[in-house]
Structure 1
Amino acid sequence: MTGDTFMTDIRDIIGDIWLSDELMGDLTAICDTGGRVAGTASEAAAQALLERRARDLGGQYSEQTFTVTGLRSQGHSVRLIASGRELESYPLLNCAAVDDVLPVIDLGRGTPSDFEGARDLIPGHAVLVRHEFPFSTNHVHRGVKLALAREYGAAAFLIGNNQPGAGAVSGSGGTGEPGEIPAFGLSHDATSELATALAFGPAEVHLVNEATAGEWTGRNIFVRFPGRTDDVVVLSAHIDGHGLAESAMDNGAGLATVLEVARRLGPRAADSERGLLVALFTFEEWALTGSAEYVASLDEAERGRIHCNVNVDTPVGYPRLYGLTAGNPVILDLLQRASRLGGTPVHPIYAHTTNSDHANFLAAGIPAVRLIGGYNDESAGSRLLLTAADTRHRIEPLDLKHGAIVTALVTLSAMQA
Structure 2
Amino acid sequence: MVDSPDAFGRLWADDYPGDFLRDLAELGDRMSGRPGERRAAELVADAFRDAGAREVAVEPFEMNAWKRGSTEFGVTNPVERSFEALALPYSPSGDVHGDIVDVGHGTPEEIEAADVAGNVVVASTETPPGMDRLYHRMEKFGHAVAAGASAFVFANHKQGQLPPTGALRFDREAAVPAVGVSAETGTWLREYADRDGEVSLSVSADTVPGEGHNATGVFGPETDEEVVVLAHHDGHDIAEAALDNGCGVATVVAIARILGDIDLDTRVRVVTVGGEEVGLLGASALADTIESERMRSVVNVDGAGRYRTLRAFTHGTPAFEGVLDSVSDAASREVSVDDALHPFSDHWPFLKREVPAVQLHSVTPERGRGWGHTHADTWDKTDARNVREHGMLAALLVRELTRKSVPRPDADALAADLESRGLRPGMEAAEIWPAHWE
Identify whether the pair has TM-score above 0.5, normalized to the shorter chain.
yes
Alignment match, 1:282: 274
With the length of structure 1 as denominator, give the TM-score of the two structures.
Answer: 0.90
Distance 1:114 1:326 in 2: 28
| Residue of 83, 86, 100 corresponding to 1:90 | 86
Superposed CA deviations along residues 348-367 of structure 1, whole A, max 9, x for unmatched, are: 11121222101111111111
Alignment match, 1:413: 400
1:151 equivalent in alignment to 2:146? yes
Alignment match, 1:235: 229
Distance 1:181 1:235 in 2: 36
How far off is 1:379 after superposition? 6.6
Spell out the pairing of 1:65-76 with structure 2 (5 A cutoff).
65-76=60-71
Distance 1:413 1:55 in 2: 24
Alignment match, 2:283: 291
1:133/1:365 Cα in 2 relative to 1: closer, same or farther (>3 Å)? Answer: same
1:329 equivalent in alignment to 2:321? no
Alignment match, 1:378: 366
SS at match of 2:277: coil
How far off is 1:51 after superposition? 2.8
Distance 2:330 2:21 in 1: 27
Superposed CA deviations along residues 166-223 of structure 1, whole A, max 9, x for unmatched, are: 5101111224646621111111111111111122x21121111111231111221110
Alignment match, 2:434: none
Distance 1:178 1:237 in 2: 25
1:81 alignment partner AA: T
Distance 1:351 1:362 in 2: 13
2:349 alignment partner AA: N
Q: Which runs of 5+ in 2 are unaligned?
A: 405-438
| Residue of 102, 105, 110 corresponding to 2:106 | 110
| Residue of 301, 304, 309 corresponding to 2:298 | 309
1:173 equivalent in alignment to 2:168? yes
Q: Which runs of 5+ in 1 are unaligned?
A: none
Alignment match, 1:364: 353
2:382 alignment partner AA: I
1:240 alignment partner AA: D
Q: Is the 8 A contact 1:133 1:383 kept in 2?
A: no
Count of aligned positions: 401
Superposed CA deviations along residues 222-280 of structure 1, whole A, max 9, x for unmatched, are: 10124263221111010111122110010111111111211211343xx4211110111
| Structure 1 segments (4+ residues) deviating >6 Å | none
SS at match of 2:260: helix
Q: Percent identity?
A: 28
Distance 1:178 1:285 in 2: 14
- Greater mean deviation of Cα atoms: 40-49 or 160-169: 40-49
Alignment match, 1:389: 376
1:165 alignment partner AA: G
1:257 alignment partner AA: T
Distance 1:23 1:94 in 2: 33
1:398/1:70 Cα in 2 relative to 1: closer, same or farther (>3 Å)? Answer: closer
1:278 alignment partner AA: V
Q: Is the 8 A contact 1:257 1:400 kept in 2?
A: yes
Spell out the pairing of 1:235-254 with structure 2 (5 A cutoff).
235-254=229-248
Q: Is the 8 A contact 2:304 2:362 kept in 1?
A: yes
Distance 1:240 1:178 in 2: 19
Q: Is the 8 A contact 1:60 1:225 kept in 2?
A: no
Alignment match, 1:29: 23
Distance 2:22 2:65 in 1: 30
| Residue of 333, 338, 342 corresponding to 1:349 | 338
